[in-house]
Amino acid sequence: MLNAEYLLRSFAAFATERGQSHVHTQTATDWAARGPSVAQRDARLKAVCRFVRHVRVEDARHELPPVNHFGARKTRRSPHIYPAAEIDRLIEAALRLRPKGGLRSRTYATLIALLSVTGLRISEALKLTVADVTRDGLLIRETKFRKTRLVPLHDTAVAGLNGDLAHRRPLFRD
């Protein structure tokens, strides 16, 4: 069951207990206030508001509650843009990871470098396989929106990936 469907069923049961067959602002805010956090109270009230916008077309007796009654605001942290020197320090630190001679340090260094030059999401980079490295760039399968795309690479990025693959090939089993 979808979250909106679950919420609206819960609200309908709450309003029915009060003997109401139409949405009333006070009932909607009372029901939404039962949410355990400001964000959840806000989500509950917004679900009712979306519903009311549709049903008011046919029956104006439904009241539209105030959308931001609980004052919840979604905020995102500002992204941190890594300067080149900081990326270089991260790669150097990754190459110092123990155990020496294993693939872990080179894997992390390559991952950091790849993320810094391609703009890939971490989930996309982690799903890459050797077969995804093509002459035309990186083949990204199942992106955030379940699509496939080709990410072109600069010659220096291709050289870096080829160097990393050359280091790994002796470790592959035939």
86-114 pLDDT per residue, tens: 999 999 999 898 876 678 888 898 899 99
Burial 96-109 (b: 16+ CB within 10 A, else e): eeeeeeeeebbebb
Domain holding 39, by residue range, is: 3-55
The rounded mean pLDDT for the chain is 88
pTM: 0.55
Domain endpoint, select from 15, 35, 55 = 55
Domains identified in the chain, total number: 2
**Is 47 inside any structural domain?**
yes
CB 146 within 8 A of CB 127: no
Q: Are residues 107 and 160 in the same domain?
A: yes
pLDDT for 76 beyond 90: no
**Is 145 inside any structural domain?**
yes
**Is 116 inside any structural domain?**
yes
Q: What are phi and psi of 95, to 5 degrees?
A: -70, -20
CATH code where residue 93 lies: 1.10.443.10
CA pair distance 158, 38, nearest whole angstrom: 48
H runs (alpha helix) in the chain = 3-17, 25-32, 38-55, 84-95, 104-118, 122-126, 155-168
pLDDT for 26 beyond 90: yes
Q: Are residues 90 and 130 in the same domain?
A: yes
Q: Are residues 43 and 101 in the same domain?
A: no
pLDDT for position 134: 85
Report the side by side order of strands in the sheet with 149-151.
133-134, 137-140, 149-151
29-33, 42-46, 62-66, 144-148: lowest mean pLDDT where?
A: 144-148
**Is 64 inside any structural domain?**
no
